[in-house]
Chain A
Amino acid sequence: AQRVTQPEKLLSVFKGAPVELKCNYSYSGSPELFWYVQYSRQRLQLLLRHISRESIKGFTADLNKGETSFHLKKPFAQEEDSAMYYCALFNYQLIWGAGTKLIIKP
């Protein structure tokens, strides 16, 4: 079965500390993976897609097929990174993880 798992409901780190939001997936084919972010009172928006291998707002995510993971990382957290983060797998529809609430403490 296709599934996306985000094991942490809540992650709290201090400003300037590194951040890693975990995402594991279950999919038999070649996955298309995304990270979406939802800031307070804003709409869900695309942060990263694995195929582009880009860095957005200092965040990167590497697909590890061996570990079936697509963890989101940022070396130095900023207060404005506080938000809800969702990992999603695309297979004719988006299959979502439960989300991780990231809180950056000053």
Chain B
Amino acid sequence: DAGVIQSPRHEVTEMGQEVTLRCKPISGHNSLFWYRQTMMRGLELLIYFNNNVPIDDSGMPEDRFSAKMPNASFSTLKIQPSEPRDSAVYFCASTVQEPSNTGELFFGEGSRLTVL
């Protein structure tokens, strides 16, 4: 079975450039999460969607970050313009959100972003 698929796996870009990270959740999952992981700050939840609707974006660092989920099988996280401090590994995760949900998230392998 296909897991959560993220692309690109690695991206190196220059400060000021636009970065778009992509995620395909597991088929049938209705909740999708974007996390950022750094050595200094650990794992941070940026935003999550339920049934394609953004529920909580309080973790999005600033207006340079935006996320969309146009349909149940695709989401993007965009950074424009990018800055060196955005360098991190960005993870997408999905799950089935329902009253009996016990919280298991399925993570992708991550997108490692380096902004020079």
A binds B: no
The residues of B with any CB-CB pair to A shorter than 8 Å are: none
